[in-house]
Amino acid sequence: MKERLRIPAEWERHDCCWLAFPYLAAEWPFNLEGAQRTIAALCRAIATAGNEQVRLLVRDRDIEAVARNLIGASNKIDYVAADYGDCWVRDTLPLLGHTPSGALGAVGFRFNGWGRKFEDALDVEIGRWFTDHLGAARLEHDLVLEGGALEFDGRGTFITTKSCVLNDNRNPGFGPTDVENALRSLLFVERVIWLERGLNHDHTDGHVDMIARFVAADTVMCIRANTNDPNAEVIRSIETVLRDAGLTVRTVPSPGLVFAPDGAPIPANYCNFYVANEAVMVPFFGVPEDGEAHDEIAAAFPSRAVIGLSARDLLWGGGAFHCATQPQPTLP
């Protein structure tokens, strides 16, 4: 029987966190420099408050020089040269976990540019390079799936969305059972909780890490709508499904309508946080709800500092802090 990995919960100990420095001007038509500053600030926060080694992918020496200048001196940040496209390593790198023998394993699903919207050969190739670089045992499946489409508690419960994983632009003809069987062939899976869809204006077709996150075993955090929220109906249905699944539900406010520089609404949310060893990095949007979100997430993680960082520039490119990070778990 093929080995199955256990993917740890994000609050379990990490050896390091992997990120990638943005460099493609065409991917950041509004503000490449703003995205670079945000990733630099995120790296500093993970390394300092989070007490976590950071390994930052850089495309070449020129990009590394830009990154070093923005981040500053730190012995907890390593620069790793690699060929990559986007900075969204949660989706382009494999998920890392533990094999039954306690070794590092990497789960590689097929990546097709978020439903063929943003195809780049380097985004496909970086996953195998990464696995080889780590010397991890690689498990593969032809299922099209991004890391941001799966949320897990480390104990076998997974949450995902039909609008993304069952979309014809990824897995035409697949139903929930097909996907669950594929996951169980590679991962330790006890149950999968299916949400119908994610946020409007999310070009990932509804990644779950934008809407619901485990904060403890059997406890999940999701968004609660405010009066000007374009996703109010979706948000209420998400909470209902999670409660009906027997989970304890904590909520965090929605930041409401947040716009890109061209006036288009973007899927702003506080659920796309990253849980480092000693801190939680939370996306802030310069709105009154930021403070309330900080307090709600701090209550969910009482043993960790909660660091709010501006995420508007990064979200204009489609994601926030969870999307831009890939933790490497400490082996048992």
Q: What is the set of active-site residues?
A: 323
Structural tokens at position 171: 């897995």
What proportions of the chain, in percent to the nearest 5, are helix, strand and coil? 30, 25, 40
Pairing mode, strands 53-58 and 77-81:
parallel
Chain centre distance of CA 149: 8
Q: Within its chain, how far is the Cα of 48 from the centroid? A: 20
Q: CB neighbours of 43 closer than 8 A, spacing ≥ 6?
A: 19, 54, 56, 71, 77
Q: Per the structure block, which two tokens stand in for 174? A: 């697949």
In sequence order, the 6+-apart residues with CB closer than 8 A to the CB of 96 are 7, 104, 105, 106, 107, 134, 136, 326, 327, 328, 329
Beta pairing, strands 137-144 & 104-110 = parallel
Residue 147, both tokens: 């890391």
The phi-psi region of residue 171 (left if phi > 0; otherwise alpha if psi is between -120 and 50; otherwise beta) is beta
At 323, give phi and psi (nearest 5°). -60, -30
**Closest CA relative to residue 140, chosen from 102, 106, 97, 178:** 106
Nearest CA-CA partner of 57 in 86, 25, 26: 86
* Helix intervals (H) in 98-231: 113-116, 121-134, 162-165, 176-184
Residue with tokens 């149950």: 191
Residue in 308, 245, 305, 238 with CA at minimum distance from that of residue 273? 308
